[in-house]
């Protein structure tokens, strides 16, 4: 996947964010392969892609349209052979013509968006998992970080794209402008929905963390251990058949030797446990804070995007709306013109009257004075 | 698998927008930008089905009409959705020459002929654009589906296949051929989209028969050519023997009265009184700019407001078939429910304390945060609901104004009584000579219905009424036509035609005022419509249930699946039909549609779902239809 992307991008000049982005992705990939159960993650990554490919191959069962492309091509061929007597070297391959910079960037952003969406889906799966022990904080943190970076860079890229569209506005016709504007808006709204999704996922995650915490408090003995004297805990430890079993599983020989110093060992164990729990809780708190800050950041991005999208005024109209408007405008224009015409005609009457009066005076002047 | 015609059409459109590949999950796929180019037929088909936002989701950045001036966009593929007419083909050829787009996906609404394909190929070679023509498809979508159970063939340029065009006195054979061909082509598209082959029934000796014969021929030809058959997808044999639907093709001449009838249900009223076109209501609002006494010549500004009535609108879906007073009540109830919800949100805001938006305060009340989030998420829904309620309020108010101004309740009551042979409380003459009651066209409509359904009138009486109508400023040329039509058609005893009707008027103040309705219903009777079948419904009922009815006994029977075309009208199918498609040649309206839907609802038991889909060559309201009639009358 990375290789494919590289190939696609190799021709074009890369933006800096792009480099940062792909290096991050590389990092993510290496992370996912190193981290504990890599199989699941990478598998799900493939899963995201494969159904689409399959669907493309699949022929839809209720196909009601008929493909006439082949017929068209055969007609073209026969016509060509008839016209040029077999000289078919006529047509240049114009499909290869170079696309504009704008289109290339837009396409790349679209692709990156799709990739980030895939990552987000993975994060959703991870974050929604509620099991107490099958939690993968490292991965989630990693993913969260990457997605956050992605969203940021995408946001910047889209802003640049907008700039580009604005700067090129002078060269193009009206339709091209609308087209590029719509592309930008569509990308923005997509990014907005994605960051919204991301925020929701993070909220779910926080909720889960809280939930886990309460459950841990309910079931784990941490509260008990800290208040009770060490002896009680010791007795508990010694008394636990399960633990003994476990211990015997770990190493048969060592226990027999260590029995003498068991008390000290247990105390150490206990201290260690408390330390560990402290560390654990600390890390949890950090994570929570992290997530919270991310949510806040995202909120701002989201708001900004929403603002931008609002600015562009997403129309939920129908395609015949403009036609109606146009006809209405024409009608209005017509009435205006009629009004003007009337005013003009009335003026004309006035002119004729004045002219008539002048003439009368003139005639009187000539008749009586001359 | 999508079931209804509308869903199937939407799916087909989506597939088309996805470059003729089945649509995948929208969010994950990387977007492909494209331009949609359509002609006016394509526009009519798409506009009720997909909003601009949905088009955007499919990556359509720009949608333009084929015949408008278009600037080149060199690096975008374009999807064309046009009729294969000469005009359109020429325009596409010019697009090739001007090199407007990167590649062209040509989708023709109905099958494109070989000749036109050659024209296209020729110009593609000349302008060196063969490589750019990526796909050529016949979409077979030549119809407009407005609802799940309703489709029509044309919207713009529908005069070409209207009642007037078919029944014109000086119609030429070639013109008639062309009209029939276009109707058959559209009907064929309908059944291709459904991918089912129906059993066709039609009356003898009129336009419907021609349509049925041609459609039968066309289906048969398509089925015989097994390789290219468009119906290959229907699977296991034996299944369709039971599930094949019935197609009833009827002619408008069967029942003129329904077209002119004043109605009382919401949707039909909207179509009749206001301007309901392609699921979009247009209301004229008069805006007074304060006191305009000093400039009396200045007309009050009229602003047109449009409302889209989609299938997502719950109020509309549940109320469109109900009588108007019930709708007013329901809208009122919705409003109350909405106010309650709004109040709850406000209460929550108050509960959060005076700090309101302060972040720390909210985080303290962790329980309330969740409620706040849910309230925030429910806000858009509430806003949407408010928009809907507002819309229906406006529509209902506009309807009510019209009803009051034209005394439509009196007309409706009288006409219903006439159709069901009940005694009138007010004589016909009274209403006609009453200057207060309605527009002239309302009076003409009433009189035509009296002429068709009422007790037989002598020539002298008719002339007397005509004089009275003329005195009331009415155009009576349509009455001339109806008189001639009546003398030509051997009408069956009208008493059996419209039997089973009846209305009862109840006190209107009872429920409305108790709920504090905003609608002032004074002077408008609260009429309740009782179940009552129009002639169309009765014929459909007879054909579906295999009952014997004098009108429907001599109907033709076509089965395109049978190899040999025999004109024997013996129905082979002995089991009642579960699904019927009713098609009206020469225009239909919402009254008939609603009546059929009500019938299907009343007939379907839990296990046996009956479905009726209504189609018509064009949807005309009474005013338009009356216009056509008077045109016919003038030509006489």
* Full pLDDT tens readout for chain A, 370 residues: 444 444 444 334 333 444 444 444 444 444 443 333 333 333 333 333 334 333 333 344 455 677 888 888 888 888 888 766 544 444 444 444 556 778 888 888 888 888 888 888 888 888 777 665 666 777 888 888 888 888 888 888 888 888 888 887 766 677 778 888 888 888 888 888 888 788 778 878 877 877 877 877 777 654 444 444 444 444 444 444 444 444 444 444 444 444 444 455 566 667 777 777 888 888 888 888 877 877 777 677 667 666 655 655 555 556 666 777 788 888 889 999 998 888 888 888 888 999 999 999 999 998 888 7
Find the residue in A nearest to B140 (Cα).
A65
- At which of B140, B167, B202 does a domain end? B140
- Say if B214 falls within a structural domain: yes
Distance CA B474, CA B439 (A): 9
Number of other CB atoms surrounding residue B405 within 10 Å:
12
> What's the structural domain count of chain B?
2
Distance CA B153, CA B618 (A): 6
DSSP strands (E only) in B419-573: 503-506, 526-529, 556-558
Query: Chain B: nearest CA to A335, how far in angstroms?
Result: 12
Q: Which of A184, A198, A65, A58 is nearest to A123 (CA)?
A: A198
**Mean pLDDT for the stretch of residues B303-324:** 79
B102 and B70 in one domain?
yes
The verdict on B121 touching A (C-beta cutoff 8 Å) is yes
B105 and B164 in one domain?
no
- The 10s digit of each residue's pLDDT in B500-536 is 444 444 434 333 433 334 444 444 555 555 556 788 8
- Between strands B301-308 and B280-287, the pairing is antiparallel
**pLDDT at residue number A311:** 54
- Say if B433 falls within a structural domain: no
- Domain ranges, residue B246: 145-255+534-635
Higher pLDDT, B92 or A287: B92
**Mean pLDDT for the stretch of residues B28-51:** 83
Distance CA B114, CA A125 (A): 53
**Mean pLDDT for the stretch of residues B393-416:** 84
**pLDDT at residue number B556:** 81
**pLDDT at residue number B497:** 45
A/B interface, count of CB pairs below 8 Å: 183
- At which of B105, B140, B175 does a domain end? B140
CB contact burial B426-454 (16+ within 10 A = b; e otherwise): eebeebbeeeebbeebbbbbbbbbbbbbb
The verdict on A309 touching B (C-beta cutoff 8 Å) is no
| Contact by Cβ (8 Å): B586, B160 | no
Containing H/E element for A217? Answer: helix A174-219
Set of chain B residues whose Cβ sits within 8 Å of the Cβ of A94: 128-129, 131-132
| Contact by Cβ (8 Å): B100, B73 | yes
Q: At what angle do helices A174-219 and A262-312 cross, to 10 degrees?
A: 160
- Give the torsion through C-alpha atoms of A105, A107, A113, A118, to 10 deg: -140
Least confident of A36-45, B29-38, B340-349: A36-45
The verdict on B125 touching A (C-beta cutoff 8 Å) is yes
Distances (CA, A) of A102 to A115, A308, B73: 20, 20, 12
The set of residues, in sequence order, having a beta carbon less than 8 Å from that of B217 and lying 6+ positions away, is B565
The verdict on B456 touching A (C-beta cutoff 8 Å) is no
List the single residue in B16, B51, B76 with the smallest CB-CB distance to A316.
B51
Which of A320, A322, A342, A346 would best serve as a mutation to test chain B binding (most B beta carbons within 10 A)? A320
Say yes or no to pLDDT of B124 above 80: yes
Say yes or no to pLDDT of B183 above 60: yes
B176 and B97 in one domain?
no
- At which of B81, B108, B140 does a domain end? B140
B172 and B52 in one domain?
no
Distance CA B65, CA B81 (A): 10
DSSP strands (E only) in B299-339: 301-308
Which residues 166-225 on chain A approach chain B with CB closer than 8 angstroms? 172-176, 178-179, 182-183, 186-187, 190, 193
- The 10s digit of each residue's pLDDT in B593-634 is 888 888 888 887 666 778 889 998 888 888 888 888 888 888
Check A94 against B128: CB less than 8 A apart.
yes
Set of chain A residues whose Cβ sits within 8 Å of the Cβ of B130: 73, 76, 91
Check B111 against A66: CB less than 8 A apart.
yes
**pLDDT, mean over chain B:** 77
Q: At what angle do helices B622-635 and B477-488 cross, to 10 degrees?
A: 80
Say yes or no to pLDDT of B40 above 90: no
- Say if B363 falls within a structural domain: no
**pLDDT at residue number A40:** 37
Say yes or no to pLDDT of B42 above 50: yes
B588 and B615 in one domain?
yes
Say yes or no to pLDDT of B279 above 90: no
- Between strands B611-616 and B150-152, the pairing is parallel
Q: Where are the alpha helices (DSSP H) in B40-108?
A: 40-46, 52-57, 86-98
Q: Which of B175, B182, B231 is nearest to B83 (CA)?
A: B182
Higher pLDDT, B80 or B4: B80
B134 and B13 in one domain?
yes
Of chain B, the percentage scoring pLDDT greater than 70 comes to 77
B32 and B14 in one domain?
yes
Domain over A1-47+100-222+294-312 is classified CATH 2.40.30:
no
Locate the domains of chain A by residue range: 1-47+100-222+294-312, 223-273
Q: What are phi and psi of B191, to 5 degrees?
A: -80, -25
Distance CA A1, CA A208 (A): 32
Least confident of B55-64, B173-182, B198-207, B277-286: B277-286
B559 and B545 in one domain?
yes
B159 and B125 in one domain?
no
Alpha carbon B594 to its chain centroid, in Å, reads: 11
Distance CA B102, CA B99 (A): 8
Q: Which of B310, B308, B384 is nearest to B341 (CA)?
A: B384
- Say if B493 falls within a structural domain: no
**pLDDT at residue number B526:** 55
B153 and B112 in one domain?
no
**pLDDT at residue number B574:** 63
Three-state DSSP class for residue A178: helix
Strand partners, B504: B528
CATH number at residue B72: 3.40.50.2060
Distance CA B581, CA B294 (A): 59
**Mean pLDDT for the stretch of residues B411-422:** 78
Number of other CB atoms surrounding residue B373 within 10 Å:
12
**Mean pLDDT for the stretch of residues B90-117:** 88
Residue B209: exposed, middle, or buried by beta-carbon count in 10 A (0-12, 13-18, 19+)?
Answer: middle
- Say if B189 falls within a structural domain: yes
B178 and B92 in one domain?
no
Query: Chain A: nearest CA to B149, how far in angstroms?
Result: 19
B101 and B36 in one domain?
yes
Distances (CA, A) of A166 to A170, A198, A296, A304: 8, 30, 30, 19
| Contact by Cβ (8 Å): A65, B16 | yes
Strand partners, B612: B580
The verdict on B137 touching A (C-beta cutoff 8 Å) is yes
Higher pLDDT, A24 or B38: B38
- Say if B340 falls within a structural domain: no
Higher pLDDT, B421 or B258: B258
Of chain B, the percentage scoring pLDDT greater than 90 comes to 2
Distance CA A178, CA A184 (A): 10
**pLDDT at residue number B480:** 84
The set of residues, in sequence order, having a beta carbon less than 8 Å from that of A239 and lying 6+ positions away, is none
- Say if B461 falls within a structural domain: no
């Amino acid at each position: 996947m990375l290789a494919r992307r590289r190939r696609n991008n190799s021709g074009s000049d890369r933006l800096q964010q792009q480099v940062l982005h792909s290096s991050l992705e590389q990092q993510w990939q290496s992370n996912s392969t190193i981290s504990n159960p890599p199989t699941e993650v990478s598998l799900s990554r493939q899963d995201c892609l494969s159904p689409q490919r399959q669907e493309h191959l699949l022929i839809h069962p209720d196909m009601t349209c008929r493909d006439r492309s082949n017929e068209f091509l055969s007609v073209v061929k026969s016509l060509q052979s008839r016209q040029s007597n077999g000289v078919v070297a006529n047509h240049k391959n114009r499909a290869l013509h170079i696309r504009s910079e704008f289109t290339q960037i837009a396409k790349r952003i679209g692709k990156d968006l799709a990739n980030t969406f895939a990552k987000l889906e993975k994060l959703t799966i991870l974050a929604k998992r509620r099991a107490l022990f099958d939690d993968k904080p490292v991965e989630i943190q990693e993913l969260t970080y990457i997605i956050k970076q992605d969203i940021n860079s995408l946001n910047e890229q889209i802003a640049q794209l907008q700039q580009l569209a604005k700067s090129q506005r002078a060269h193009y016709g009206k339709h091209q402008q609308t087209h590029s504007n719509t592309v930008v808006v569509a990308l923005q709204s997509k990014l907005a929905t994605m960051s919204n999704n991301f925020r929701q996922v993070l909220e779910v995650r926080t909720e889960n963390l809280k939930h886990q915490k309460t459950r841990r408090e309910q079931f784990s003995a941490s509260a008990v251990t800290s208040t009770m004297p060490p002896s009680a805990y010791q007795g508990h430890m010694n008394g636990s058949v399960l633990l003994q079993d476990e211990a015997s599983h770990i190493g048969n020989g060592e226990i027999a030797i260590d029995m003498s110093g068991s008390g000290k060992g247990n105390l150490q164990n206990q201290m260690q446990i408390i330390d560990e729990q402290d560390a654990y809780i600390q890390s949890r708190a950090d994570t929570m804070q992290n997530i919270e800050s991310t949510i806040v950041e995202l909120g701002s991005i989201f708001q900004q995007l929403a603002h931008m999208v609002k600015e562009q005024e997403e129309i939920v109209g129908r395609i015949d709306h403009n036609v109606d408007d146009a006809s209405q405008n024409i009608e209005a224009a017509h009435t205006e013109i009629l009004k003007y015409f009337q005013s003009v005609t009335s003026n004309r009457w006035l002119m004729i009257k004045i002219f008539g009066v002048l003439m009368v005076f003139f005639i009187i002047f000539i008749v009586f004075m001359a | 698998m999508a079931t209804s015609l509308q869903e199937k059409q939407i799916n087909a459109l989506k597939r088309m927008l996805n470059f003729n590949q089945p649509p995948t999950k929208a969010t994950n796929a990387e977007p492909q930008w494209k331009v949609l180019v359509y002609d006016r037929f394509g526009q009519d088909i798409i506009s009720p089905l997909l909003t601009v936002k949905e088009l955007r989701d499919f990556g359509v950045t720009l949608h333009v009409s084929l015949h408008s001036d278009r600037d080149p966009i060199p690096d975008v593929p374009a999807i064309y959705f046009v009729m294969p007419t000469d005009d359109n083909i020429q325009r596409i050829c010019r697009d090739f020459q001007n090199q407007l787009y990167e590649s062209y996906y040509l989708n023709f609404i109905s099958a494109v002929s070989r000749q036109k394909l050659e024209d296209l190929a020729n110009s593609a070679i000349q302008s060196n654009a063969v490589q750019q023509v990526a796909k050529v498809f016949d979409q077979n979508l030549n119809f407009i589906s407005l609802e799940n159970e309703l489709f029509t063939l044309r919207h713009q340029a529908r005069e070409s296949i209207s009642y007037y065009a078919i029944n014109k006195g000086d119609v030429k054979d070639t013109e008639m051929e062309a009209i029939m061909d276009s109707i058959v082509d559209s009907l064929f598209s309908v059944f291709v989209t459904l991918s089912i082959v129906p059993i066709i029934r039609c009356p003898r000796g009129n336009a419907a028969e021609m349509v049925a014969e041609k459609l039968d021929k066309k289906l048969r030809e398509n089925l015989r050519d097994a390789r290219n058959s468009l119906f290959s997808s229907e699977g296991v044999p034996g299944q369709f023997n039971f599930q094949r639907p019935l197609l009833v093709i009827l002619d408008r001449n069967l029942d003129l009265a329904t077209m002119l009838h004043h109605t009382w249900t919401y949707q039909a009223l909207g179509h009749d009184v206001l301007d309901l076109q392609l699921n979009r209501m247009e209301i004229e609002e008069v805006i007074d700019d304060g006191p305009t006494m000093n400039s009396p010549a200045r007309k009050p500004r009229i602003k047109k407001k449009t409302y889209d009535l989609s299938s997502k609108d719950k109020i509309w879906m549940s109320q469109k078939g109900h009588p108007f007073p019930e709708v007013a009540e329901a809208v009122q109830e919705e409003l109350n429910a909405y106010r309650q919800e709004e109040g709850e949100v406000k209460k929550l805001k108050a509960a959060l304390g005076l700090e309101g938006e302060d972040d720390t305060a909210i985080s303290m009340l962790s329980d309330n945060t969740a409620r706040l989030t849910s309230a925030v998420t429910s806000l858009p829904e509430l806003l949407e609901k408010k928009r809907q309620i507002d819309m229906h309020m406006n529509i209902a108010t506009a309807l009510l104004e019209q009803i009051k101004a034209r005394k439509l309740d009196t007309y409706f009551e009288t006409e219903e009584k006439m159709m069901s042979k009940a005694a009138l409380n007010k004589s016909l003459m009274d209403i006609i000579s009453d200057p207060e009651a309605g527009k002239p066209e309302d009076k003409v409509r009433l009189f035509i219905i009296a002429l068709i359904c009422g007790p037989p009138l002598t020539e002298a009486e008719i002339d007397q009424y005509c004089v009275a109508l003329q005195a009331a400023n009415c155009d009576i040329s349509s009455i001339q036509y109806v008189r001639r039509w009546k003398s030509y058609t051997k009408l069956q005893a009208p008493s059996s035609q419209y039997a089973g009707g009846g209305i009862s008027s109840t006190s209107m103040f009872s429920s409305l005022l108790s709920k504090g309705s905003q609608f002032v219903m004074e002077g408008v009777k609260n009429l309740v419509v009782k179940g009552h079948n129009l002639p169309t419904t009765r014929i459909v009922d007879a054909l579906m249930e295999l009952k014997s009815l004098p009108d429907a006994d001599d109907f033709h029977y076509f089965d395109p699946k049978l190899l040999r075309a025999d004109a024997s009208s013996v129905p082979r199918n002995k089991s009642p039909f579960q699904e019927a498609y009713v098609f009206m040649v020469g225009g239909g309206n919402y009254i008939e549609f609603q009546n059929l839907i009500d019938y299907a609802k009343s007939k379907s038991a839990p296990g046996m779902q009956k479905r009726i889909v209504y189609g018509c060559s064009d949807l005309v309201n009474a005013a338009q239809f009356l216009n056509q009639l008077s045109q016919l009358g003038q030509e006489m």
